[in-house]
Structures are given as structure tokens and as C-alpha cells.
Chain A
């Protein structure tokens, strides 16, 4: 085993190898740290020291325990060793600052990169965010009681009232749980009057599940639905990782549904299929392998794949929609009659109102209201129309009456449509006047 201690030296912390310890099988040995420090000329060192132990083997090959003793050789408190490894965040179960009790939180950036953190202190009245920057090898100790007493507001303007004496905390990166952090965290709750100290457990905030929403998607052919991807963390928080997804654009049956690189699922034809994607985050991708084996982090951090079941129903022509008006004016009527005509563009729509881009033989029937027929309409003339490949067709709505152009009354009518002989569900409501007409209010 090698013991490179880390300690503040001058302006920047430094690593210094302590030496090597050899343990026989099932051997137990107490390491004389002070003696080893003396061996490298630090026998009189008085200050903060981080000790790293490295060895070759699996995590289950060795047990380490450490504790702090005072200068009278009395045991003061446990200093539990922490397995190095990246994690998404670390949850501190509790802190206390009641009376003579205080909590010290120590962080050590053992990684080879500078890191930024947010220490979120949760308490009964709210939350306080403490930003922390640690350069390579840097350590920091945070005194919770002093922090509270300082009354310094955080970036959101929050302070912790002095009557708050306990809470919990979470250390994460600036982006929250999505950031991977490499840091050792230790918290000790101690009382200077009673001379007691205990450690506050901290846990990795790992991903417990993942899902796509909608997970079971039913859409009509031609409809586009955006899929969002979420992670659920151990602390109950959820995290939208939609923007970090790599969608498998070849997943799913292309005759049923497709997914693009942005997670947009397009229904193509009737049937069921599944589309898949995975997090672009390497830590999320590898998380299924997080079993503590060498080269992999201890903290589980996510799942590899995401999947959604897609059920696509066919577009059913449902509505003949008046899309736009091309022209309007007096109608061409038989002798003795006058009226109004509008040349419009109709659009075929499906059961959810999406356009249907397909050619059909469209035929309509007009049924004039018997209760609202000021114009005395008794004849109807309708025809057939062939929609273009975009599902649109030009149509002319007209009225002719012997009461026009003088009448200010109106006649109501219902218009039913068939496509290729099949009845469409929606019935258009038409209002005819001598100087205009409307279809479903348009």
C-alpha cells in the first residue's frame, strides 16, 4: 500500500508519498502515520492532512479503519475512510448547531481537475446554497455554526436564521445532480463542552430509475410527439436529461413509428413498436456496471437505455376543414334568384385535427334546416371533389334564393362528408346569407 498524504504547503496543497506497507494474507496492522510523516520530514507537522491509501486488488480485499487521537493519545473520533470514485452528488444525513454543538464538513478535491460545488443546506425553513471552488488537491472545512452566524445571504438572497439548529445537506455540482463530482466528503458533529463527536453519514445520490415520458405513447399516423427522458435519484429528485439523450433513430419499426435525433416520434402506420435511446452521459451509460470493480465507480449513477412503447393508430379522415378563402362574391344563379358564393380551400383532417396528406374522393351532402330557413332554400346541389396529395381541394360554397339580395335573414344547414364512400364523423355547420356564408363559423 502506498500512502501519499496531501497537506497544505505554501500557496497550494501538495502530495507527498509516505511509503509502502505490506500486509500478509488476513494480516492486521496499525499504521504509524506520525512515524511515517517523520520519515519524510513532517514529524512536527501541525494541521490538516488528507491521507490516501492505494492498493492493487478489489475493494473487498481490504478493510481500513481510521480515527483521530489527540496529543494525549486519547481517541477522539472516527475518521471513516471513503472509497474514491465519481458520483452525482453526496447526501449528508444531518447537521447540528444547537448550543455548544457544531458540525464541521470537510471536502477534499482528490481529483486532477479543479471543481465547483454547491453545498445545499436544507432546514425546516428553507434552503441555503453555498458555492465552493476547490482547485486540484485543495481541501476546505466548513463550520456550520459560523456560517449561520455570519448571516451572509446566498445567491438567492437566503440566509439561515440563527434559530435554525439542524438540517441535512447535499453536495452536488453547479448543475445539480447531473454533474459528476469527484470529492471526499466527511462531516463530524461535535460538542466542545461534552467533548463528544460523531460522524454524519453521507450517501451517494445515485439514479434509482429512469423513464421516458410519454412511456406508452399512442398517436395517430402522421402525428409527432416529443419524448422526454428523466432520471430519478435516490433523494427523490428527478432530472430532465432529454437534451443529453442519444436517440436510436434506427429503433422501432419504420413502418409504424420513427424517432429522430431530437426525440421526436412520428407515427407512420398502424401497429405497435418500441423506440429506444440512451444517455449521452458516459457515467449514465456505464452505471449498470457500477459494482465497485476496479475502473468503475462505487456509486451507481444511472441506467443504460431508455425505451418507450409506441402504438400508432391510422389516421381516420374525420373533418373537412375550411382552410382558407380564395374569393367571394355574388353567385351565378338561375333567373329570378341571387345569392353569394365563396371559393375556398378545404383541408382533410384526422380524428385529432391533424391534416391528412392523401388523395380521396370527397363527396358532400347538404341538409337544410327546417327551423332556420329564412332564405327559403329547398334545393341542394352538391358534388364530388378529389383532394390533392396534400389532402386539400378547392370548393365553392354557394347559395341562391329568390329572396336575395334583399333578405337579411339566414339559412342554416348541415353538411356531411364521405371519403371514398366512407362516412366522416364530423358534420359541418353552414350558415347561408345573401351576402355571405360560413362553415363551422369560418
Chain B
């Protein structure tokens, strides 16, 4: 009961601090908290049979046109299969069923984007690479993959402003271009969220293992997942399938 009280208080504090942000905690003991509009959104029957948790998550967000950001991926998300049916309910209740048995996963709504992350030792690591602040993200009309690549270069310039040129490759992705937009002093996760929010039918998913502490951060590798109907299985999604 002591533990439950403690966890019960923390989301309320975050609501107070971050305003529009609500958080759920998947790890036992379960808690109930104030849910945002997205999490309380009613969904039609949803079922998941013997697919990975990430497959189920992308299927859920694809079917309901919910932009998604997944900050931490591990075996429980990439490999563990889930099998459940939600005859009627909300996005939040589907997530509760989906993450049953998983350890430490949080989900929250951030400005219309469903965010999935993990807690370590009971707290969310905000100051990881995804928490780095990009002073200025200036976008011309561009595809989602072009914007994702631009963010990678901006992130590299944070560490080494002396880079005067980049070369390389990025995934082809889909061709629909987003109108220009500018962001100032936003974190990497906020920029990514804004990109998928504007595109709507896409997710960004971290392709790197979770940082287990703020000291053990690795440079983030994320992938853009474009929603397909029916959703592509994880094995066909770049670059999240663990070979």
C-alpha cells in the first residue's frame, strides 16, 4: 500500500508540472490516474493474437490514426508476444491489456502523440539523448524521413558545431511532404513527436536499447514507421526487427 500511494502521487505531480502530460505506469501495482483525451478515446473491438507487443502497439495506433513515439525498446516490446481481445474500451484500456506482465513501461499523451517509455528504478529518465534540446529546428517542405534525417544532423551539430558538411543515407520512406515549420528549444523527442503528429499516420520508434541510467546513454537511433493497412509486421519494419 505504501508503494501504491507513492506511485499514485507521482503522476499528479507531473500533471502539475507539465500541464498537458499524463502518465500511466504499467508495472505492478497498477495505478489509476487522470487520463488525457487520447487515452480515453473509445476504440472499436481490438484484438491481438500471438504478435509482438510492438506489433500490437503499432496495430492499435494505426487502426485509430494515433501518432506514436516509442522511446525505449527492449525484449518485452520486440520479442514477447501478446494475446488479448478488447471488445469495447479505450486506448488506455487496450494499452493496459497490452502491457500486462511487462515491466516499467509508461504511456502518456503528449500534444496528441501517444508516447511510450520506460521507468528505471521507478523514475523516467528525461535527460537522455531524447531529452537533448535542439535550439532551432528549421524545416522546409519535406518528407518525414527527410525531417528525421535533418534532426539527426542537428543533433550531431549540437556535439560538434564545426561540422560543415554531412553525407550519407537515410531510408526512402513515403513521399508525402509536410509543410514547413520551425521549432525552437525543443527536445529531440518533442521534435520527433511534432513530425509524426503532423504526419498523423506514422510513429517514431527507438531502435536502440534503453538506457538504464542517465550515465549510460547511447546516441539514439530511431526509425520512422509508416502506418499501413493492414499493418506491416515487425519483421518488415526497418530497422526494429532483431536479426
A to B contact number (C-beta, < 8 Å): 152
Q: At the interface with chain B, which of A107-115, A189-197, A260-268, A358-366?
A: A358-366
A326 close to B (CB within 8 Å): yes
Q: Is A205 an interface residue (CB 8 A)?
A: no
Please determine whether B136 and A384 come into contact, CB atoms closer than 8 angstroms.
no
Distance of A386 Cα from B225 Cα, bound (Å): 12
Docked Cα-Cα span, A306 to B190, in Å, equals 70
Secondary structure at the A interface, as helix, strand, loop or mixed, is strand
Q: Cβ of B243 and Cβ of A421 under 8 Å apart?
A: yes
12 contacts across the A-B interface (CB closer than 8 A): A332-B139, A359-B235, A359-B236, A360-B243, A361-B238, A378-B163, A384-B239, A396-B169, A398-B149, A411-B165, A411-B167, A415-B169
A377, B238: Cβ atoms under 8 Å? Answer: no
User: Is A337 touching B238 in the complex (CB atoms < 8 A)?
Assistant: no
B152 at the interface (CB under 8 A from A): yes
Interface residue? A238 (CB, 8 A)? no
- Given A383-B171, A393-B172, A396-B172: A333 and B166 interface contact (C-beta under 8 Å): yes
B residues at A contact (CB < 8 Å): 136, 138-140, 142, 145-147, 149-150, 152-154, 156-157, 160, 162-173, 175, 207, 221, 223, 235-239, 241, 243
With A361-B243, A385-B239, A403-B164 as given contacts, are A394 and B172 in contact (CB-CB < 8 Å)?
A: yes
Q: Are B168 and A380 in contact (CB under 8 A)?
A: yes
Whole-angstrom distance between the alpha carbons of A327 and B142 in the complex? 13
Q: From B136, B162, B171, name the one whose CB has the most chain A CB atoms within 10 angstroms.
A: B171
Determine which of B138, B223, B241 lies in contact with A335 in the assembled complex, contact meaning CB atoms within 8 Å: B138
A381 touches B153 (CB 8 A): yes
- Judging by beta carbons under 8 Å apart, are B168 and A382 in contact? yes
Question: What is the minimal beta-carbon distance from A38 to any residue of chain B, in angstroms?
Answer: 96
Are A401 and B164 in touch, CB under 8 angstroms? yes
Q: Is the CB of B153 within 8 A of A382?
A: no
Contact partners of B167 in chain A: CB under 8 A: 366, 368, 375, 377, 379-381, 398-400, 411, 413, 430, 432
Set of chain A residues within 8 Å of B157, measured between Cβ atoms? 334, 379
Q: Which residues of A contact B239 (CB under 8 A)?
A: 361, 363, 383-386
Determine the chain B residues whose CB is within 8 A of the CB of A331 once the complex forms. Answer: 146
State A350–B82 Cα separation when bound (angstroms). Answer: 37
A246: CB under 8 A from chain B? no
Tell whether, in the assembled complex, residue B207 and residue A384 are in contact, meaning their CB atoms are under 8 Å apart: yes
- Give the nearest-CB partner of B243 in chain A: A420
Closest to B156 in A: A379
Q: Kindly state the separation between the CA atoms of A396 and B160 in the bound complex, as whole angstroms.
A: 24
> What 1/0 flags go to A300-330 for Cβ under 8 Å of B?
0000000000000000000000000011000
A242: chain B residues at CB < 8 Å are none
Q: How far is the CB of B208 from chain A (nearest CB, A)?
A: 11
Q: Are A333 and B169 in contact (CB under 8 A)?
A: no
Q: Tell me the nearest residue of chain B to A388, going by C-beta.
A: B236
**Is B165 a contact partner of A332 (Cβ separation < 8 A)?**
no
Known: A366-B167, A366-B169, A403-B165. A386 touches B150 (CB 8 A): no
